[in-house]
């Protein structure tokens, strides 16, 4: 019986985890920013039979039990969900939440910059990065470009995504010979003056720039504040004319692809593991659940919400602090109610009380060079299981009930037990989307994540076994939550 199932993880050779890790590497390399992350995940969803919904139109008449759907906000936030075949009005939502953004260098609105004979790029630090790790890296440029186009004689603005994976920019460090002993010791950087990427040398690029700026129509007032050869590079990549670029939203990224490493390939080295690893695994788990007969006996709605702007506080129209989750629950419940287009407020409240949110953001593995930074009884290890995070000061949402539910899912699914993390009393504690979402919605929440090192570095590392551990936990959540919640008193 379930009560006698072992919670000891099954024994596997490390090679069995490599195919899923290699798939993760492909996703991470192809997703240098939230735009590409969401786009790559929607491609997978559509291939699995998910239907895109328009946020501007009512959902009533478009949803049905057994259906699979998705929609996006700003093309950087993704909501995907599937309706259980046995869903009834007032039933709950099983939600996995994560975020699509990572610390990086974003291009400023006036990007053109020069200094000491070099053509440079104006950038702004986004989030709390370990900025010294961005020095001496080969950097590409990616993001969204607004393009003027014509359709039926009418001008429209198209949104295109660009990814220039060649090393076009570099933030060079100062040589040791020009640093004082104190400067070498402190490793301190001025974010305004020391993190300017170099694109080229002025003399070499001057002729090309002049040819861009002479002749033709009067120059666009926005375009004159951008480097002409950067615009040309973007235009060539998108196969458009420079004059049709109306605006852009770009960031820099490390060109080095994600890869496996370690003596047995047991590690994944990549940029943006926080939190693109969650984005990858969550969508994979939802597709697996809904493509393998998981909806047949499902009474609830299984949902993935991946938000932008977590790294800067989640306070935006498409961050976790927005009404996106509350709105999604209300609109979907209303569309599926017995009286289409209306929802009894009492049923909505019942739905909230039957729902559960698994807030997933990468976790801090114990560092072998800094073991004193972890409380010794709560020191997660890589390749040893998903981490459940607890903080009694409510920086994380896990409590005895929500934590029990996750452990019981592990027991029911007979998968690798979760690890526990509590920050030391003499260390500050980070936070994530869990407290924000639970406060805004009233939905019970637990905070968890896959353990990693080098969080917020330009290059991070995690264990490949934990990708599978997380996948199995998510699938167990979609499969076993309702059964466990129904026998949990109160």
pLDDT at 207 (0 to 100): 53
SS3 track for 403-465: HHHHHHHHHHHCCCCCEEECCCCCCCCCCCHHHHHHHHHCCEEEEEECEEECCCCCCEEEECH
pLDDT at 205 (0 to 100): 63
User: For the residues 175-187, what does the mean pLDDT come to?
Assistant: 89
pLDDT in tens, 211-244: 555 444 556 789 889 999 999 999 999 999 999 9
Q: How confident is the model at residue 57 (pLDDT cuts 50, 70, 90)?
A: very high
Measured CA to CA, the distance from residue 200 to residue 196 in angstroms comes to 12
pLDDT at 216 (0 to 100): 45
Q: How confident is the model at residue 342 (pLDDT cuts 50, 70, 90)?
A: confident
Q: How confident is the model at residue 186 (pLDDT cuts 50, 70, 90)?
A: confident
pLDDT at 4 (0 to 100): 39
pLDDT at 211 (0 to 100): 52
Q: Which two tokens stand for residue 309?
A: 């702007």
pLDDT at 291 (0 to 100): 94
pLDDT in tens, 36-48: 999 999 999 999 9
pLDDT in tens, 112-125: 999 999 999 999 99
Which SS3 state, helix, strand or coil, does residue 134 take? helix
pLDDT at 218 (0 to 100): 53
Q: Which residues pair with 36 in a beta bridge?
A: none
pLDDT at 5 (0 to 100): 44
Q: Which has the higher per-residue pLDDT, 482 or 340?
A: 482
pLDDT at 339 (0 to 100): 76
pLDDT at 172 (0 to 100): 97
Task: Name the pTM for this structure.
Answer: 0.94
Measured CA to CA, the distance from residue 49 to residue 45 in angstroms comes to 7
Task: Please state at what angle helix 18-30 crosses helix 273-291, rounded to 10 degrees.
Answer: 120
pLDDT at 1 (0 to 100): 40
With vertex at residue 126, the alpha carbon angle to CA 117 and CA 456, rounded to the nearest 5 degrees, is 105
pLDDT in tens, 153-167: 899 999 999 999 999
User: For the residues 72-93, what does the mean pLDDT come to?
Assistant: 97
Among residues 167, 335, 135, which one has the least CA distance to residue 257?
167
Q: How confident is the model at residue 463 (pLDDT cuts 50, 70, 90)?
A: very high
Distances in whole angstroms, Cα of residue 470 to Cα of each of 280, 384, 476: 11, 11, 10
Q: Which two tokens stand for residue 217?
A: 């129509």
209 has a pLDDT exceeding 60: no
Q: How confident is the model at residue 187 (pLDDT cuts 50, 70, 90)?
A: confident
């Amino acid at each position: 019986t379930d009560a006698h199932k072992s919670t000891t993880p099954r024994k596997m050779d490390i090679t069995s985890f490599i195919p899923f890790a290699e798939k993760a590497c492909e996703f991470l390399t192809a997703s240098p920013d939230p735009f590409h992350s969401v786009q790559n995940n929607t491609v997978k969803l559509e291939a699995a039979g998910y239907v895109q919904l328009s946020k501007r139109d009512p959902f009533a008449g478009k949803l049905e039990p057994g259906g699979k759907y998705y929609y996006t906000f700003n093309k950087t936030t993704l909501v995907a969900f599937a309706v259980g075949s046995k869903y009834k009005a007032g039933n709950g939502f099983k939600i996995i939440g994560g975020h699509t953004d990572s610390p990086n260098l974003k291009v400023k609105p006036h990007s053109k910059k020069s200094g000491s004979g070099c053509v440079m790029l104006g950038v702004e630090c986004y989030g709390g990065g370990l900025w010294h790790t961005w020095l001496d890296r080969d950097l590409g440029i990616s993001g969204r470009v607004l393009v003027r186009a014509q359709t039926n004689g009418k001008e429209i603005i198209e949104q295109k995504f660009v990814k220039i994976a060649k090393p076009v920019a570099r933030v060079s460090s100062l040589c040791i010979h020009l640093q004082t002993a104190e400067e070498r010791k402190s490793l301190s950087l001025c974010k305004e003056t020391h993190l300017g990427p170099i694109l080229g040398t002025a003399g070499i690029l001057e002729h090309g720039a002049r040819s861009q700026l002479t002749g033709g129509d009067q120059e666009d007032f926005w375009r004159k504040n951008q480097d002409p050869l950067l615009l040309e590079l973007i235009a060539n990549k998108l196969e458009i004319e420079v004059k049709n670029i109306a605006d852009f939203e770009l960031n820099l990224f490390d060109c080095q692809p994600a890869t496996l490493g370690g003596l047995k390939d047991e590690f994944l080295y990549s940029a943006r593991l926080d939190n693109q690893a969650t984005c990858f695994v969550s969508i994979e788990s939802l597709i697996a659940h809904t493509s393998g007969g998981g909806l047949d006996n499902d009474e609830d709605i299984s949902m993935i919400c991946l938000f932008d702007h977590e790294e800067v506080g989640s306070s935006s129209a498409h961050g976790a602090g927005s009404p996106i989750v509350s709105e999604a629950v209300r609109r979907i419940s209303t569309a599926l109610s017995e009286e289409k287009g209306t929802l009894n407020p009492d049923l909505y409240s019942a739905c909230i009380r039957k729902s559960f949110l698994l807030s997933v953001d990468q976790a801090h593995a114990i560092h072998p060079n800094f073991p004193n930074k972890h409380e010794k009884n709560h020191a997660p290890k890589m390749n040893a299981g998903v981490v459940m995070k607890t903080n009694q000061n409510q920086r994380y949402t896990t409590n005895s009930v929500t934590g029990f539910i996750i452990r019981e899912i592990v027991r029911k699914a007979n998968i690798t037990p979760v690890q526990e993390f509590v920050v030391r009393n003499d260390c500050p504690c980070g936070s994530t989307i869990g407290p924000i979402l639970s406060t805004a919605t009233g939905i019970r929440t637990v905070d968890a994540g896959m353990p990693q090192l080098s969080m917020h570095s330009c290059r991070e590392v995690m264990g490949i076994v934990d990708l599978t551990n997380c996948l199995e936990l998510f699938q167990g959540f979609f499969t076993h939550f309702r059964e466990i919640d129904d026998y949990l008193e109160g």
